[in-house]
C-alpha cells in the first residue's frame, strides 16, 4: 500500500460519481468559448483563464467568483458572473478535496495544532469557510486506505518523531513562512539543480540542526504530497486518464538527472492533442522504453513552440514524484 496507488484508487471512484460529469461540463464551459461568444458578455473563457492560473484546483474558480469585481478593476476583460447552481457544483467538488485533506492531516494536527496552516494547501488564499455533507455524493469509506497509507509514510513518521516542544516553540506563521520560502527557493533553481544553501546544511544525526532540518523537510514534503493528491483528484474530475509522454510523442529526453532534492527531466515532445492543454502543476506520466523511464511527474515548466516545418513542439520541465507522491524524496532519503 502506498500513497500513489491509493490516490489512483480514489480517482477511479471520482470518475464514477454522478457529480463528476456535471463538474466536468461546467469547467469546460468556463474554460472555452465558441466563436460566436467571443468578445461578448457571455464569453466566460477569461473566468477560466484567471481561475486556472491560481493553480489551486476548484478553489481557483471559487476565488474568481468571490473576487470578480476586484479582478475586473485591474483587467480590461469582463469576468461574467456564474449561476448559483454552478457555484454550488464547484463548492461540492472543492469540499470533497477539502474533506479529504482534513482527514489526511487529522492525526498530526490533533497532536500539534500549530501546524494547521502549513498542512493546508490552500492556506495562502482567503475564502469564506463552508461545510457540506458529502456522504450523499461519495462513499467516504473510499478514503480509508489513503488515510492509512499517509499515516504510515516516512514523512509523517519524521513529523511524529519530532519532539512536541520543538514544534510548539514557534508559531504557525513562522513555520509556514520558512516552508514556503524553502519551496520557492527549490523551484527557482529548476528541476535539475538543488539550491547551494541546502548542500551546506548540517546532517549530523541527533544535532539540533539535524532535527530541525528533518522537521522542515518533512513539512515541505507533506505539503507537496497533499498538493499532488489534490491535483490528481481534480484531474480525475476533468479527464478519463492522465496525459502520457511515451515513445509515440517524445522527440528527445534532453536532460535526466538525480540530485539532492529528487529527479528532474526535460523532455521535448510532438503533441497530438491533450499534451498541449497541460499546465504547470498538472501531473503526467512518462513512459519511455528506450530510456527505461516510467515515472509520474509534476510539470514545473513548459515551453510551446510553433514551427512550419517541424510542427508544434512542447518542452516540459518535470519533477518526478515517488510512490508517496513526494517530489522532494531526495531530501527525505538524505536525513
Instruction: Give the bridge partners for 314, in sequence order.
Output: 269, 304
What is the number of structural domains in the chain?
2
Same domain, 94 and 204: yes
Same domain, 233 and 155: yes
Report which listed range, 75-79, 214-218, 260-264, 272-276, is most confident. Answer: 260-264
Same domain, 133 and 257: no
pLDDT of residue 38: 53
The residue from 175, 204, 239 where one domain ends is 239
User: What secondary structure does DSSP assign to 133-184, as a single string?
Assistant: -GGGTS-GGGGHHHHHHHHTSHHHHHHHTS-HHHHHTS-HHHHHHHHHHHHH
Question: Which residues span the domain enclosing 162?
Answer: 3-239
pLDDT of residue 263: 98
| Mean pLDDT, residues 35-39 | 53
Say if residue 40's pLDDT is above 80. no
Same domain, 216 and 258: no
Same domain, 230 and 269: no
The residue from 239, 257, 281 where one domain ends is 239
- 118 pLDDT tier (thresholds 50, 70, 90): very high
Q: How confident is the prediction for the chain on average, in pLDDT? A: 90
Cα 99 to Cα 96: distance, rounded to the nearest angstrom:
5
Same domain, 119 and 210: yes
- 46 pLDDT tier (thresholds 50, 70, 90): confident
- 36 pLDDT tier (thresholds 50, 70, 90): low
pLDDT of residue 203: 62
Say if residue 280's pLDDT is above 70. yes
Say if residue 294's pLDDT is above 90. yes
pLDDT of residue 39: 55
Torsion angle of the four alpha carbons 123, 129, 135, 141, in this order, in degrees rounded to the nearest 10: 20
Exposure pattern of 134-154 as b/e (b: 16+ CB <10 Å)? beebbeeebbebbbebbeebb
pTM (two decimals): 0.94
CATH of the domain at 259: 2.40.30
Amino acid at each position: 500500500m502506498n500513497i500513489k496507488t491509493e490516490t489512483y484508487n480514489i480517482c477511479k471512484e471520482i470518475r464514477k460519481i454522478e457529480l463528476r460529469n456535471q463538474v466536468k461540463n461546467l469547467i469546460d464551459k468556463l474554460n472555452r468559448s465558441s466563436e460566436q461568444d467571443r468578445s461578448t458578455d457571455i464569453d466566460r473563457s477569461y473566468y477560466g483563464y484567471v481561475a486556472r492560473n491560481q493553480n489551486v484546483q476548484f478553489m481557483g474558480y471559487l476565488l474568481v467568483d468571490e473576487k470578480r469585481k476586484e479582478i475586473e478593476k485591474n483587467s480590461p476583460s469582463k469576468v461574467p458572473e456564474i449561476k448559483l447552481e454552478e457555484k454550488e457544483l464547484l463548492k461540492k467538488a472543492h469540499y470533497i478535496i477539502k474533506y479529504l485533506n482534513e482527514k489526511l492531516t487529522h492525526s498530526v494536527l490533533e497532536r500539534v495544532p500549530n501546524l494547521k496552516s502549513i498542512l493546508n494547501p490552500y492556506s495562502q488564499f482567503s475564502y469564506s469557510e463552508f461545510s457540506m455533507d458529502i456522504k450523499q455524493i461519495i462513499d467516504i469509506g473510499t478514503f480509508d486506505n489513503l488515510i492509512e497509507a499517509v499515516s504510515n509514510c516516512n514523512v509523517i513518521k519524521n513529523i511524529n518523531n519530532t519532539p512536541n516542544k520543538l514544534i510548539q516553540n514557534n508559531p504557525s506563521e513562522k513555520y509556514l513562512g520558512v516552508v514556503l520560502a524553502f519551496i520557492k527557493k527549490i523551484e527557482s533553481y529548476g528541476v535539475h539543480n538543488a539550491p547551494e544553501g541546502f548542500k551546506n546544511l548540517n546532517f549530523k544525526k541527533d544535532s539540533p540542526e539535524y532535527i530541525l532540518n528533518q522537521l522542515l523537510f518533512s513539512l515541505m514534503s507533506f505539503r507537496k504530497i497533499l498538493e499532488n493528491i489534490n491535483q490528481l483528484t481534480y484531474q480525475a474530475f476533468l479527464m478519463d486518464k492522465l496525459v502520457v509522454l511515451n515513445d509515440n510523442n517524445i522527440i528527445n529526453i534532453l536532460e535526466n538527472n538525480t540530485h539532492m532534492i529528487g529527479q528532474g527531466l526535460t523532455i521535448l515532445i510532438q503533441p497530438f492533442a491533450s499534451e498541449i492543454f497541460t499546465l504547470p502543476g498538472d501531473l503526467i506520466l512518462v513512459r519511455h522504453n528506450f530510456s527505461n523511464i516510467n515515472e509520474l511527474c509534476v510539470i514545473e515548466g513548459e515551453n510551446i513552440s510553433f514551427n512550419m516545418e517541424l510542427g508544434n513542439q512542447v518542452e516540459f520541465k518535470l519533477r518526478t514524484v515517488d510512490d508517496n507522491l513526494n517530489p522532494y524524496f531526495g531530501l527525505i532519503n538524505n536525513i
